[in-house]
Amino acid sequence: MNLAADIAGITFPTCIMNAAGARCVTADELETIGRSRAGAIVTKSMTREARDGNPTPRYVTFPHGSINSMGLPNLGYQSYVTLIPHLKTFKKPVIASVAGFNPDEFLEIASAIDATHPHLIEINLSCPNLEGHPQIGYDFEAAAHLLNRLRKVVTCPMGTKLPPYFDPVHHDHMAAVLERCRVDFISVINSVGNGLVIDPDTDTTVITPKGGFGGLGGAIIKPVALANVRAFSLRLQGRIPIIGVGGIETGQDIYEHLLAGASAVQIGTAFVEEGEHVFDRLEQELAAVLQKKGLQSAAEAVGRLEEL
């Protein structure tokens, strides 16, 4: 069974990779991904300075999902500048995820990372912008301005990681921005923000930061993720490839992302909970689903969703 994928002219040995998040911060964690069956090595979203992140507990699972407010713990972009050439020796694509707290930081980090020649750069638009402003992914004018500036300095394929959108008009606006700014791929979605989980035994929030508010992941967000993949697929019509992220626990989940229009997928909560062996399991399960459907490759499933 051929599970390979093509994103922006880069061939991935399988269409299943890690999402920028936990288990991809340190050199040891990234090397573990390199040795695994993951189809790529995706780094943690990197900032200008190293960050310890928010106080713990900051990540908790609950039935059918997870909630987190990690606070972007990472080594700082200079450390990843050193690491990326080494990560490329694992002979699979390296995706460097970039997060700035203002446009100038985005440009500084992206320029330095681009010089190391990762296979792709993922601009995390689902992260803080300026104090008092929404995530930059929800400010279409600011997002367009930033992406246009980045397009002038980034030479490798450049994509964006987007927050979930809940209104078709927002999909329309962002799809237009993506095409106008010549984005090479998109990763959708980041966690569903501002969720709240309550411990029934203690009557308290389950995480410490932000008064208990955090991003939701895991199976509970799959319908939102699929909706965003489908919405962008219908608007972009294959002109910009999509990496589906959110709610993937089984091979069937991956197949549904492919049906909705994703060419590849990223794994977050399931990777955190299971470790690197999740990629072996998911690969086997996806192959079994494709075989059952009479398909010879993952690529054949992309965009095949039928409407009633």
Hey, which residues are catalytic here?
A: 127
Backbone φ and ψ for 276, nearest 5 degrees, come out as -65, -20
Of 183, 184, 188, 179, which is closest to residue 236 (Cα–Cα)? 179
What is residue 22's DSSP assignment? Answer: T
- Following CA atoms 185, 235, 239, 186 in sequence, which dihedral angle do they give, to the nearest 10 degrees? 0
Q: How far is CA 30 from CA 13, 40, 49, 82, in A?
A: 17, 10, 19, 13
What is residue 297's DSSP assignment? Answer: B
Continuous segment of H or E residues that includes residue 96 = strand 94-98
> And the tokens for 147?
């992406």
Of 71, 60, 65, 75, which is closest to residue 29 (Cα–Cα)? 75
Of 190, 129, 192, which is closest to residue 159 (Cα–Cα)? 190
Q: How far is CA 129 from CA 112, 113, 187, in A?
A: 20, 20, 19
Query: How many whole angstroms separate alpha carbon 59 and alpha carbon 241?
Result: 30
Q: Token pair 């569903």 is at which residue?
A: 192
Query: How many whole angstroms separate alpha carbon 129 and alpha carbon 146?
Result: 11
Contact of 59 with 87, CB cutoff 8 Å: no
SS3 290: helix
Amino acid symbol at 21: G
Contact of 43 with 97, CB cutoff 8 Å: yes
